[in-house]
A and B are shown apart, each in its own frame.
Chain A
C-alpha cells in the first residue's frame, strides 16, 4: 500500500495498461504534448509515441466515433473528454452507435473502448464546466458507467474498464485529482458491479457517489460524535449497479439517504431510491430521502456555487431528520 493522489492513480492505471497491451491507444484534447489539462498523461507521448497517444482536434463526436470504429477492428481506445459538460457533443456516437451496434450486428463485434471524463462543481468553472451528467449515459443499456471516489477505486476501476468488451464511461471529479489515499501495490483491478461499504454503521445507510462519498464520510464522522452511526455505501459503478449490497445494507439499518451531486430531478440517485422502494420497502422504518444538486445551472460566484451542491452539513442534517 502507498498513499498516492487520485491523479497519479489514474495515470498509473493507464500506463500499466498501455505497457501490458499495445492495442491500448489514447485519444483526447491536449493529452499528448501538454500531458492533459489535469496532467494525467504527462510523459505518455514520450513513452508510447504519437501512434498511440493522439492529440486530437476539438471534435468530441469525431473522437468518440473514432473510438467506436477503432475498437470494432481490435484497438482498445481510451478517450479523454476534457469536461463531462462536453459529453453531449459525443452523445450521438455513444447512444446511437456504441451502445447498440454490437446488438444489431447480432453480436459479431464488441466495442472495447473507454471514455474518461471529469465532472462536478466546486472549482469556480462555471455553468459549462461543472456539471454531473452521469445519468445521461447510465440511462442507456449496453453502456457501462463507473464513478470512482478514491485513488484506489480510480485505478482499479479504470484498469478493469480498459479490459472490458463493452463501452465504458468513467466519471472522474475535478476536485478529487489532488486527494490522496492508499492504493494497493502491484496489479489492482476492481470488478464492475461491486459496491463498497466505505464506512460501516448501524443507524442509517447513506448511498453516495463520486465526491459525495467523501462528503458523506465527513458527515458520518460528525454524526458519530453525536452517537449516530451512518453506513456509507459507494456503488462505484452505476451500470452495472450492485443492488444486492445496497439492499443488504438497508436491511440492517432500515433508513436511507441517497446523495448525489447531479441535479436532483432525474439524477441517478432517483434510480437507486426506486430500487430500494421496489425491492427493499419492507426493510424501511422511514421514507427514503434524496439529497441531490439543486435544479439550477451551476453558478460561478464563490458566494453562490456552494449553495447548489450537497455539503457534508446538509448530509448530516438530512440524517438527523431521518432519525428524528
Chain B
C-alpha cells in the first residue's frame, strides 16, 4: 500500500534528509519503475507491445519524489513519459501493463495504450500524448479543487519541450491570476524529442519563467530524490494552504531514447554517463546511512517479482472484444 511521505520525515529547512525508512520506501518505488521500464522495453522488442513506448529510465526520482508528498485526492496530469507518475500515484500494476499491452483488463479497456492511462480512483487524471496539452487541464482541476473545497492540489508534469507551448504560458498565467492550488513540475530531461534544450530554448534557465507570472520557482537536482521531495513538499504545502501555484524545475536526464522508434545519433558521446543515475545515488546514500546491502536485495527482488507478475498478467489477459469496447461497432 502506498504511503504518503509525511512532512515530519522532511527536515524543516527543506533541504535536509528523509528518515531512512522513508528513503528506503522511495528507493523501492524507483526500482519498481526501472524494472518496469526494462521489462516493457523487452516486451516491446518481442512484439508484445505495439506502437511507440516512451520510457522514463533516469527520471524516476522526479515522478516518484513529487507524487510521494501527494494525498490520494490530489490530482496528477501526466505526460507521454508518465510511468513513474502512474506508479507513484498508486495505480494497479497489473491493469497498467494490461493497458500497455492493449488488453481488456487495462485501465482503458485497450482503447488507450501507454500514453493515455487514467485512474480516477487514485487521482491520476491521465497521461497525455500532446506536449503541453495536459497543463491547462491541471489548471481546471485546480479550479475544481478550490470551488468544490476538496482540499486537494493539482499537479501538472511536463517536459522541457512543453514550456515552449502556448498552453504553458496560458496555464501558468491563469493559475497565478486566480491563485489556484496547483504545482507545475517541469521534468527537464534536456531533450525535446531529439533536440537539446540549448537548441530549442532561447533562455535555458526554465525556472526563470516563474518570475514572469509572479509565482515562486525552484530548480532542484532531479536525480536527488530527497531534494525533489523537499521542494515538492514546499510547493504542495503552499498550494494546499491557499498560497497559490509554483513552478518546480527538476533537472534530470533521459537515459533511454525518446521512444522505441528513436534511432539515436543526436547525443554527444559520454553525455549520458556524465549524469548520475538516481537509483544509484539513492542506493549509495542508503548504504552510507547504515542500511545493509543485504537489506536492499529483497527490495530489488520484490520489485522484479511485482513486475514479472504484472507482465505475466498482461500477456495472459484476453484482448478486448470489439463488440464490448467499441460502442455502436
Contact = CB atoms under 8 A, between A and B. Distances in A.
Interface of A: 23, 25, 51-52, 54, 56-57, 59, 61-75, 77, 92-93, 96-97, 100-101, 103-109
Given A57-B177, A66-B174, A105-B112, A92 B120 contact: no
A66 B140 contact: yes
Contact of A106 (B111, B170, B178): B111
Contact of B108 (A25, A51, A106): A106
Contacts of A105: 107-108, 112, 116-118, 120, 126
A66 B170 CA distance: 10
Contacts, number: 136
Contacts of B178: 54
Interface string B134-157: 011111111111111010001000
Interface in B101-122: 106-109, 111-112, 116-121
Contacts of B173: 57, 59, 62
Q: Chain B interface residue count: which class?
A: 35 or more
Contacts of B109: 106-107
A72 B141 contact: yes
B166 A109 contact: no
A234 to B, nearest CB: 26
B132 to A, nearest CB: 9
A92 B148 CA distance: 27
A65 B147 contact: no
Given A62-B167, A70-B141, A106-B107, 15 more contacts: A57-B173, A61-B170, A66-B174, A68-B140, A69-B144, A70-B144, A73-B75, A73-B144, A97-B130, A97-B137, A100-B116, A104-B108, A105-B116, A105-B117, A105-B120
Contacts of A61: 136, 166-167, 170
Contact of A69 (B77, B116, B130, B150): B77
B130 A96 contact: yes
A107 B130 CA distance: 20
6 contacts: A57-B173, A59-B170, A62-B167, A70-B143, A104-B112, A108-B118
